[in-house]
Amino acid sequence: MSGFVLEGNSPTETIHTQVVVIGAGISGLTLALRLQQGLQQGSRSVLLAEAGNRVGGCISSQSKEGYCWEEGPNSFTPAPALLNLIAEVGLADQLVLADGKLPRYVYWEGELLPVPMSPSAALGSPLLSVGGKLRALRGLLGFVAPPPGREETVRQFFRRQLGSEVVERLIVPFTSGVFAGDVDQLSATAAFPRVAGLEERYGSLFAGALQARRSQPEPPLSPLIQPPPKRGQLGNLRQGLKQLPEAIAQQLGDVLRLRWQATHLKQDGGKYWVQFETPEGSRWVTAERVVLTVPAYVAAALLQELNPQASRLLAEIPYPPVAVVTLAYPEEVLPQPLRGFGHLIPRSQGYRTLGTLWASCLFPGRAPKGYHCFLSFIGGATDAAYARERGVPPLLALSPEERAQLVHEELSQILLTCPGEPIRLGERLWPQAIPQYTLGHRQRMAQLQESLAQQTPGLSVCANYLDGVALGDCVRRAEAMAQEILKSGHG
């Protein structure tokens, strides 16, 4: 039951609805589902419009010839809100969890070295020198300079806390792994709010980590999730992450409109008017509330006339390109047995690949017997400088073949035990991949929210550029926004 009201019978007439959600990635889908559930009790209605011909946005799972791989997000931290959503849409039995104890590697000076996952492992780790370990310990216990009065970059914060060695060997690659980001541009409090907040609240990272673990109340987990995930495990679904958006779309029914691209937004007569390009031509929808879950650069274009200040703030968020190259190899050319999460490569090591996930070691059914499948990431916020310094073409100028060849050559040096030809499964370029939370981000987002509330009340944003890019953050934020709309009575 969607509750749309059509003026007349013609498909070109205006549609009236209470809430329009624009963009059917995980944010828009979760929001529309919760609104549909909440609004069904009343006479209100919701419409979810997606420009593409499929749901899921960044989530893009592929399969062929016994392989299954991801071109966008490749796993999730199993937070209760996300797991409960999975259970609710009938996918509890599809959940697969990677062994939390699988080693993660950093490629340092010609060797794959395991990342220490506990303080005791860190003491024995060959990844850090004795001096580096002592320096990190000093910071963990809180014997570091107090935070300066200004906002710190990720490099500045972690160098002050844990020393330069930890930054170069662990923080730089980790930042590439999460944001495809640059430690010299990202804001520590915006990109890693939980870690940065530990010092503020508890005085030291170590004391903070212990306290925070004790004091974090988690919402109850659905009894359908059996067994409940353990700490450190990562999740996916048997046939890939796309199962989740597809299952939500099933529940949404005619609330969802595919190939409906929002092109224009205006305010008139106390309502919002949204114009869509659809397969049937141009359509107008009026609504009391509009929620944009599209990327910031799309939202910026839509808001240009209606709210120029918000548009400008959104346009300032950088989205560097990232390419995901998926290659498979027979077991004979790989270390035996191959066991691990994957490897990250610090920028100082001179490789162009940011990191590689050993996908078939993580989840079942990712490669046929006797083969392994690897997802490698190139690009990100540091890639333009890499290309400039070495006089090589930027990522966007490389052909898919060149990107695959580059990844294969680097994997041959880092992982393969003898020369081998890759099976090229897929090559996906995201020209604008992940929003970067650069210095000043939190302040800009606060200004954005204020501008929206004052200049265009009833028009909201709910997307991964606000306060967390992970899938679990998108679900958390969308559920909170649905509650706010339902409570406000404007929906």
Ligand X SMILES: Cc1cc2nc3c(=O)[nH]c(=O)nc-3n(C[C@H](O)[C@H](O)[C@H](O)COP(=O)(O)OP(=O)(O)OC[C@H]3O[C@@H](n4cnc5c(N)ncnc54)[C@H](O)[C@@H]3O)c2cc1C
Chain positions contacting ligand X, by CB under 6 A: 22-28, 49-52, 57-59, 72-76, 261-262, 293-295, 298, 322, 324, 430, 433-434, 463-464, 469-471, 474
Is residue 328 within 8 A of residue 422, CB to CB? The reply is yes
Q: How far are the Cα atoms of 386, 390, 469 from residue 178, in angstroms, in the given order?
A: 19, 25, 9
Q: Is 116 helix (H, G, I), strand (E, B) or coil?
A: coil
Instruction: Tell me the closest approach of the beta carbon of residue 16 to ligand X, in angstroms.
Output: 19
Q: For residues 124 and 281, which CB has a smaller minimum distance to ligand X in the complex?
A: 281
Region class of 3: left (phi > 0), else alpha (psi between -120 and 50), else beta: left
Instruction: Tell me the closest approach of the beta carbon of residue 349 to ligand X, in angstroms.
Output: 21
Dist. CA 128–CA 115, nearest whole Å: 10
CB atoms inside a 10 Å sphere around CB 286: 20
Half-sphere exposure of 306 (CA within 13 A, CB side): 24
**What residue type is assigned to position 14 of the chain?**
T
Q: For residues 136 and 241, which CB has a smaller minimum distance to ligand X in the complex?
A: 241
Is residue 374 within 8 A of residue 411, CB to CB? The reply is yes
Q: Is 69 helix (H, G, I), strand (E, B) or coil?
A: strand
Q: For residues 324 and 367, which CB has a smaller minimum distance to ligand X in the complex?
A: 324
Dist. CA 180–CA 6, nearest whole Å: 45
Q: For residues 180 and 367, which CB has a smaller minimum distance to ligand X in the complex?
A: 180
> E strands within 52-115?
61-64, 67-70, 95-98, 104-108, 111-114
Q: For residues 189 and 464, which CB has a smaller minimum distance to ligand X in the complex?
A: 464
Instruction: Tell me the closest approach of the beta carbon of residue 299 to ligand X, in angstroms.
Output: 9
Q: For residues 324 and 387, which CB has a smaller minimum distance to ligand X in the complex?
A: 324
Instruction: Tell me the closest approach of the beta carbon of residue 389 to ligand X, in angstroms.
Output: 24
The residue written with tokens 């610090």 in the block is 346
Q: For residues 87 and 294, which CB has a smaller minimum distance to ligand X in the complex?
A: 294
Tokens representing 358? 């050993």
Q: For residues 99 and 165, which CB has a smaller minimum distance to ligand X in the complex?
A: 99
Instruction: Tell me the closest approach of the beta carbon of residue 395 to ligand X, in angstroms.
Output: 13
Instruction: Tell me the closest approach of the beta carbon of residue 261 to ligand X, in angstroms.
Output: 4
Instruction: Tell me the closest approach of the beta carbon of residue 484 to ligand X, in angstroms.
Output: 17
Q: For residues 23 and 181, which CB has a smaller minimum distance to ligand X in the complex?
A: 23
Is residue 15 within 8 A of residue 6, CB to CB? The reply is yes
Is residue 426 within 8 A of residue 64, CB to CB? The reply is no
Q: Judging by DSSP bridges, how do beta strands 261-268 and 342-344 pair with one another?
A: unpaired
Instruction: Tell me the closest approach of the beta carbon of residue 343 to ligand X, in angstroms.
Output: 15
3-state helix, strand, coil in the chain (%, to 5): 40, 25, 40
Instruction: Tell me the closest approach of the beta carbon of residue 348 to ligand X, in angstroms.
Output: 23
